[in-house]
Amino acid sequence: MTAMASSSDLHDERSAARAIARELATVRRTAGAKPRIAVLTHERPDGDAIGSCVALASMLRGAGYAAAAVGVGEVPRQFTFLAGAGAIVGPEAFAAPPALAFSLDATDPSRHGAARALIEGAARAVVIDHHASNTRFGAVNWVDEGAAAVGEMIWALARRLRLAVGPDAAEGLYAAVMTDTGRFTFGNTTVRSFEMAADLVRGGLDPARVAEGVYGGRPRGEWDLEARLRSSLRLAAGGRIATVELSARDFSETGTTSAAAMDFASLPRTIAGVEIAIFFYEIDGGARTKVGLRSAAPVDVNRLAGRLGGGGHPQASGCLVEGGRAAARRIVLREARRHLGARGVERGRR
């Protein structure tokens, strides 16, 4: 990027908060007027994307800024219960480029899909993310791969900037961290995750309501979809790799969409001896296949996904392959087997 000289790459919370405060100071507080600040989620948003986005937009509005949460496509059913979800607008809500845009939980601008122009056209862009592979495409870049979720970072920012965390924002932040930590069970769960949770619950948040909102209320079709997923299990590499898959027809016949499949990649990882779990699911009517990867530490599926054109986190990653699931299987399994072999070599060297 040409703006590299004036862009800053921040690692610690304190300097990030200071830089973001400077950006906010340049935007006039014109609540009620047309939104001047866009807070962007990514495409096929997960709980962290939606929750963080809703929370930051809500906190900024509370502080008097004309901020809007911007999404592309429908809000997945699991997150429609969030009080702030109804306030998410499409990119078309911005007739002119925003004065300031926040990119949350997105490794690069393409993750914003149809809202990409907002982040690239904004007078100033702030990137807040916890993916190591983030391309630092903002004027201000705060990337903390030690954060379990962007939600944790937004919570820390609120405290530094003394932004009030109202009930809507609290729910969003809790949903963000609850989902990205696998209900506080994944290896990314830290003291900070629990500190944030404690702080929000102390402030009146009902954790059971958020858990029920995200994980409860499943339509019958989602249950049937999960049954199909479980019966598709196959083991490879002597039981070190588990694969599950869903075809485009599995979704249409159960009346579900790929949004219902968000948590499925984690299921086969719990089988004894499995080091890499792979979940293939067809999108765009089977023209392309999304691949969810989960691993048992120290196996790093972020590196595996990187070789397949994707990315994410060391134990939870993904990529997108052209073609149906059979084609994806061939390509990804070959790399996964190689990956497990390579790991043995690296360990020997250490």
Rounded distance, CA 316 to CA 330, Å?
20
Nearest approach, Cβ of residue 46 and Mn ion (Å): 7
Q: Does 180 bind Mn ion (CB under 5 A)?
A: yes
Choose the binding region for Mn ion from 4-12, 43-51, 207-215, 342-350 (rule: CB under 5 A).
43-51
Half-sphere exposure of 212 (CA within 13 A, CB side): 4
Residue 145 CB, shortest distance to Mn ion, in Å, is 11
- For Mn ion, give the closer residue by CB, 61 or 131: 131
Nearest distance in Å: CB 264, Mn ion: 17
Count of residues that interact with Mn ion, criterion CB under 5 A: 4
Site string for Mn ion, 307-326 (x = CB under 5 A): --------------------
Which residue, 98 or 311, has its beta carbon nearer to Mn ion? 311
Residue 150 CB, nearest distance to Mn ion (Å)? 5
Q: Which of 48/171 has CB closer to Mn ion?
A: 48
- 263 lies in the binding site for Mn ion (CB under 5 A): no
By C-beta, is 48 or 168 nearer to Mn ion?
48
Q: Choose which of 13, 23, 48, 152 interacts with Mn ion (CB under 5 A).
A: 48
Stretch that binds Mn ion, among 64-72, 141-149, 157-165, 286-294 (CB under 5 A): 141-149
Closer to Mn ion by CB, 107 or 254: give it.
107
CB of 52 to Mn ion, least distance (A): 8
Rounded to an integer, what distance in angstroms lies between the CA atom of residue 160 and that of residue 213?
A: 29
How many angstroms separate the first and last alpha carbons of the chain?
37
Tell which positions 105-124 bind Mn ion, by CB under 5 A.
Answer: 105
Pick 49 or 333: Cβ nearer Mn ion:
49
Of 30 and 110, nearer to Mn ion (C-beta) is: 110
CB 330, min distance to Mn ion, A: 29
Nearer to Mn ion, 23 or 180 (CB): 180
Written in H, E and C, the secondary structure of the chain is CHHHHHCEEECCHHHHHHHHHHHHHCCCCCCCCCCCEEEECCCCCCHHHHHHHHHHHHHHHHCCCCEEEECCCCCCHHHCCCHHHHHCECHHHCCCCCCEEEEECCCCHHHHHHHHHHHHHCCEEEEEECCCCCCCCCCEEEECCCCCCHHHHHHHHHHHCCCCCCHHHHHHHHHHHHHHCCCCCCCCCCHHHHHHHHHHHHCCCCHHHHHHHHHCCCCHHHHHHHHHHHHCCEEEHHHCEEEEEECHHHHHHCCCCHHHHCCHHHHHHHCCCCCEEEEEEEEHHHCEEEEEEEECCCCCHHHHHHHCCCEECCCEEEEEEECCHHHHHHHHHHHHHHHHHHHHHHHHHC
Return the number of the residue (91 or 151) whose C-beta is nearest Mn ion: 151
Interaction mask 144-163, Mn ion, x per CB under 5 A = -----x--------------
For residues 233-252, which are near Mn ion according to CB under 5 A?
A: none
Which part of the chain contacts Mn ion (CB under 5 A), choosing from 14-22, 100-108, 159-167, 244-252? 100-108
Residues that bind Mn ion (CB under 5 A): 48, 105, 149, 180
